[in-house]
A and B are shown apart, each in its own frame.
Chain A
C-alpha cells in the first residue's frame, strides 16, 4: 500500500465519525522507484489531505515533507519539493503493518501490501 492510497482510506465501522486519517503502524516498508511525472504531482497536490500524508510518511520512515502544506507557488518553482512529494506518494510501500482507526483504535492489518478493511459482524 502506498500513501496515495492511504490518503483516501477511512475507517468504515458503523457509527464512527472521525475515522480519518488511519494511523500507520509500519512493520515492513520497502522502496520502489517509479518515473517522476512533475505535472501529475502538481495536479495531485490540490487533492491531497496534507496532514495525513505528512504523518503517514513519517510513520513509514520519511520525514522530508514540510509540516504545513506549502503555497501553490512552491509547486511551480521548487522541483526538489515535487520530487519529495513524488517519493512519498508513489515510492514507499507498506508491506506489513496495520492501519489504526483514530477513533476506536481498531487495527486493520496490512499483509503483503494489502490492507484488510473487512469489518466484523458487530461493526457493520
Chain B
C-alpha cells in the first residue's frame, strides 16, 4: 500500500464524538498516523506479519493503520468505552480485524512476549501529570521488539533519559519531528487551531 493511499483511508475514519478532556482525547490525524506506521514498516519491518498493540487506541486510527499494513494481529487498548465503540465501527468499515480491550493501561498485566510492536499516541501529561511516562513504561514492558510513540518535542531530553535509565530501553531514537495540528476541540481552547511540535520516537527494549 502506498503512503498516500494509507493516508486517504485513515482520513475517512470516525473520530471522538464527545472527547473527554481529562483523558486528553485528541484524534491522531491521518498525516501523522500514516507516516508513523509507514516508517515503522518500511524502515524497520515492525508491522507486517507482526503482533501489534496500540496503547490508548482511542478511535483506533493507529490500530487500523497497522491492520492495513498487514500486521498479523492488532490489539487496541483503551479505557473509554465510547471510543472503543467508535474504533469497532472503524475497523468494520475498513474490513480489518482488530481485537479491542477496555482497561487502564497503567494497571495492565500482560503475560508472555507475544506482542512484537507497540504503537501509540499517548496523552502528553497535560491533564494527568506523568501520563506520558506511565504509557511509555507500560509499553516498554509489553513490546518484545519496538515501541513507536509520540511525545512533545519539549520533553525530548527527559524522555530519552527516562527510557534509557528507567524503562529498560536498549535504544531511544527520535525518528523525526512532526507538527501535530490540534483543532479547537474543547471549550477552553482559545485559538482555532494550534500546532504542537512532537517527536516520533522509536524505542527498543533490552531482551531478557
Q: Which residues of A contact B (CB under 8 A)?
A: 1-2, 4-5, 7-12, 19-21, 32, 34, 37, 39-40, 44, 47-49, 90, 112-119, 124
Contacts and interface: CB of A to CB of B under 8 A. Distances in A.
Interface string B48-63: 0101000000000000
Given A4-B51, A4-B73, A47-B114, A114 B109 contact: no
A116 B102 contact: yes
Given A8-B112, A20-B111, A119-B107, A32 B97 contact: yes
A32 B112 CA distance: 26
Interface in B82-111: 84-85, 88, 97, 99-104, 107-111
A11 B72 CA distance: 25
Interface of B: 49, 51, 72-73, 75, 79, 81, 84-85, 88, 97, 99-104, 107-115
Dominant secondary structure of chain A at its interface with chain B: loop
Given A8-B114, A9-B111, A49-B112, A119 B104 contact: yes
A26 to B, nearest CB: 16
20 contacts: A5-B73, A8-B110, A8-B111, A9-B101, A10-B110, A12-B103, A12-B108, A12-B109, A20-B111, A37-B49, A40-B49, A40-B72, A112-B85, A114-B84, A114-B88, A114-B101, A118-B102, A118-B103, A118-B104, A119-B104
